[in-house]
Structure 1
Amino acid sequence: MPSALDIRLAQLAEEVKVDVLTKTQDLDNAAKIEEVSRAFMSDTITVPTKEMNAYAMRASLGDDVYFEPSTAALEAHIAQLTGKEAGLFLPSGTMSNQIALRTHLEQPPYSVVCDARSHIYRMEAGGAAFHSGANSIPIIPENDHHLTLEDIEPRVVSGTDVHVAPTRIIALENTLNGTIIPQEDVMAISEYAHSHDILMHLDGARIWHVAAETGLSMKELCDPFDSVSLCLSKGLGAPIGTCLVGSKKFITKARWFRKLFGGGMRQTGFLVGAAAYALTNNFPLLPRVHSLAKRMQQGLEELGVGILSPAETCMLFYDPAPIGVEYWEIVERASQLQNPIKINGSRLVTHIQTSPQAVEDFLGLVRTLKEEKAASGWTVADMRPQKKSVFRDVYVKAVKPTK
């Protein structure tokens, strides 16, 4: 005869259990892969393949707050690859950047010099101020492409004036909006920084693309920096994860801050297994990704569409105004195609799961819209003036005008 507690536990078990799978989960997953192949919003939307999942599930079992063998192996590999002493696996690029800043910055006042368009400055919820109490000095590149020493040197704060926060870190991002910083400029900035006891941090979320496009080794690209954050979930297609690299002393303290920030994880083996699969199998796919972006740019230029920022790697920014079309029209019509395409503004991103047919279908849609505008009597004189961001940004969201 079951006791009252046994009956209650059985009831609780019924309340607790859950099935997150749909009755058509395999078909749903296949549909998602197809959807991702026709989405140009970001490279963060890639999904694990069956092969990646199979490899990942064979990874070691361990608690990473204590020690996890597969995770330690990946950290050591990326540290060696980038020429650094140690690495730390983190759940996100934002956490990686913010922990890097917090680890470097020991006692305020201090400031961080960065590009005005950078992720650290614009897309991390004011983390440098919140977590580190740091003042940011955002700089607009004079060349509209990348920061140079000529941009940075006059903005660096030094001396003992109590009214200012001395510059402690110069943070660069490569790629930034898909564009590559010339290595000679990186070296010049690094030499200046280190000669003035200023640290260098790289937000290398898409640094893999730089290596694939230029042929430079990861060590060459990372040598000028004291710390580097390398995303595994963007261009490489891992489901989650970023690796922060630097000196042993730096990573030891960063691991402490990871715990403080709530980023200490437990069974990370299958996550780093997926990341290892991505490094091995997906890095070689990046040149194809770049080719698709360049094909998209070529097709748009042939149609007379403006290019705000060209496809140096996986990303380009465009302006359809020269053919009389607005972003919201493209977004709306793309979503209504028999096989829909997902976009959300001026930024177009290709990735390892992008379908070449999706690129051609997108160009076909733009061509159709151009022809429709011409047939309606649209002329260049009807073009709406384009506003330029104060940051010389190129990202414009598609917003349909309200009536």
Structure 2
Amino acid sequence: MTTKAQSIEAEAKHLANGQVKVNNWSSPGVAAFDFRSDIVTTPTTRMLDAIASTTLLDDVFQEDPTTINLETFIADLTGKEAALLVLSGTMGNQVAIRAHLNAPPHSVVCDYRSHIYCHEAGGVSSLCGAVMRVVRPSNGKYMTLEDVQKETVMSDDVHTCPTKLISLENTLNGIVTPLEECRRISKWAREHNLIMHLDGARLWEAVAAGAGSLKEYSDCFDSMSLCFSKGLGAPIGSIIVGTKAFIQRSRWVRKTIGGGLRQAGVVTAAARVSVEDTFLGGKLAATHERARQIAKLWEGYGGKTANPVETNMVWFDLEAAGVSVEKFIELGEKAGLRLRGGRLVVHYQIGDEAVRRLESVMQAIFKGKQLNGDVVHGAEKLQEMNVVR
């Protein structure tokens, strides 16, 4: 007689061709030693329980209670009228910007490092027909009003492409755009009838760092996108917030790019848990403290950091340390870590053992310590994540 446990094990082996643990939700697994990004966090058993007990109605028909409740919950947290589930941060940004913009010509002003410019496959241009005007922050950290004003086009000259939308990203490279600066840019933008969008994939981190509340940041923007799968640990999903009219148009745009879901509760149940357990549960602040600890260790061995540590990212200056990116990644593999270069992203599943292993990498670089582990993936494979934030 086949037991339930045997049946589950057999199905797990079938789905993954035998290469699987029966319950991958019970521990972080390799994510506990993966500094490449906070997208590598693994979902928890509570998320699995939430998925198992979720509602299974249609989101395109706007019938699923779990999904509707999540959208209402996030709208309330941010102080916006409405919200809309999307499958990824990229989809959230693209749907929001497309919903805001009508017929060209128009231009979008953003940071030259921003995700919508560097890592969304040219979606703003291909989906919206918009020209991207990029800003290099004069302070080297975040865009200021003065930076934005220099790149904003408000001429009625037929040779120009007028700016209609300003997009900020917070956090960007782990650095917080201060609330007061967002307010300055927003006030000026509204005086000139310009739309404000925030790529808030990691806005949770800025809030956890004490920079301001979700509602305070939300007040500065006409729309925001927020990710559940970066840092919060959900397996999939993001959300956009704005007015009811904006969300209704966004729902339409989402449909045109294949973003409608049927039994959406399997996504939104886990997303709700990620917000409650990780963000509201206070786990992000601990990652910031661990990031500062790692930076202090690196600097204690004589290393330099390329950016200030304000949230969960640490930027090692590998060139100043005399080590190549490829060598650094290989040393990490020998220590049992997954690295992708000088940017280390600390998520809530990174623990003390991962930091100890990382210190052994530092000792190999600065003290000549020999590491005897194996290089399994190789630098080239792990660097493939360079395009993923």
TM-score by length of 1: 0.85
Equivalent position to 2:133, from 134, 137, 161: 137
Aligned position for 1:177: 173
Amino acid at match of 2:112: A
For 2:213 and 2:135, locate their aligned partners in 1 and report how far apart those are by CA, in whole Å: 28
Q: CA deviation at 1:360?
A: 2.1
Verify: 1:36 aligned to 2:31, yes or no.
yes
SS in 1 for 2:15: coil
In the alignment, which of 41, 46, 51 is matched to residue 46 of structure 2? 51
**2:320 aligned residue:** 322
Partner deviation per Cα, 1:340-395 (whole Å, 9 max, x = no partner)? 1000111100111112221121022211221129xxxxxxxxxxxxxxxxxxxxxx
Question: Partner residue of 1:312?
Answer: 310
Question: Is the 1:325–1:370 contact (alpha carbons within 8 Å) kept by the matching residues of 2?
Answer: no
Q: CA deviation at 1:321?
A: 3.2
**What amino acid is aligned across from residue 297 of structure 1 in structure 2?**
A
Task: Verify the 8 A CA contact 1:307 1:317 in the aligned structure 2.
Answer: yes
Q: 1:301-351 CA distances to partner (integer Å, 9 max, x unpaired)?
A: 1111110012211112111333432222221122123xx100011110011
1:94-113 correspondence runs (5 A): 94-113=90-109
2:372 paired residue number: none
User: 1:134, 1:23 → 2: CA distance?
Assistant: 47
One of 98, 106, 114 as aligned partner of 2:110: 114
Query: Residues 253-273 of structure 1: CA distance to partner in whole angstroms, max 9, x if unpaired?
Result: 000011111100111112111
Distance 2:273 2:17 in 1: 27
2:252 is aligned, of 252, 256, 277, to 256
Structure 1 counterpart SS, 2:40: coil
Q: Which amino acid aligns with 1:140?
A: R
Match of residue 200 from structure 2: 204
Change in CA separation of 1:346 and 1:184 when aligned onto 2, cut-off 3 Å: same
Displacement of 1:24: 6.3
Distance 1:368 1:135, change over 3 A: same
Query: What are structure 2's unaligned runs of at least 5 residues?
Result: 1-12, 370-382, 385-389
Identity among equivalent positions (%) equals 41
Summarize deviations over 1:102-133 as a string: whole Å, max 9, x none.
00001211000000000011110100000000
Any residues of structure 2 matched to 1:157-306 within 5 Å, and which? 157-214=153-210, 216-283=212-279, 284-306=282-304
Cα deviation digits, residues 148-184 of structure 1 (max 9, x gap): 0111112111121111111100000000011000111
Contact 1:305/1:321 (8 A) holds in 2:
no
Partner SS, residue 185 of structure 2: helix
Relative to structure 1, is the Cα distance of residues 181 and 297 closer, same or farther in structure 2, using a 3 angstrom cutoff?
A: same
SS of aligned partner of 1:161: coil
Where does residue 61 of structure 1 map in the other structure?
56
* Amino acid across the alignment from 1:301: E
2:320, 2:103 → 1: CA distance? 52
The CA distance in 2 between the partners of 1:124 and 1:177, in whole Å, is: 16
Gaps of 5+ in 1: 1-17, 374-396, 399-403
SS at 1:214's partner residue? coil
* Structure-2 separation of matches of 1:31 and 1:332: 29
- Residue 229 of structure 1: SS of its match in structure 2? strand
Q: Identify if the C-alpha distance between structure 1 residues 113 and 371 changes in structure 2 by more than 3 Å, giving closer, same or farther.
A: same
Whole-angstrom distance in 2 between the partners of 1:28 and 1:271: 19
Report the 3-state secondary structure (helix = DSSP H, G, I; strand = E; otherwise coil) of the residue aligned with 2:311.
coil
The answer to whether the 8 A contact 2:98-2:128 is kept is yes
Equivalent residues of 1:56, 1:277 under 8 A apart: no
Alpha-carbon distance in structure 2 between the residues aligned to 1:54 and 1:371: 47
Q: Is the 8 A contact 2:82 2:242 kept in 1?
A: yes
- Residue of structure 2 aligned with 1:348, choices 319, 344, 350: 344
Q: Distance in 1 between matches of 2:157 and 2:87?
A: 39
Which one-letter code corresponds to 2:150 in the other structure?
P
CA distance in 2, matches of 1:200, 1:78: 19
Moved more, 61-70 or 362-371: 362-371
Matched to 1:355, the amino acid is G
Size of the aligned set, in residue pairs, is 359
Please report how far the alpha carbon of residue 30 of structure 1 lies from its aligned counterpart in structure 2 after TM superposition.
Answer: 7.5
| C-alpha RMSD of matched pairs (Å) | 2.1
CA–CA distance in 2 between the matches of 1:56 and 1:78?
19
SS in 1 for 2:196: strand
1:148 equivalent to 2:153? Answer no
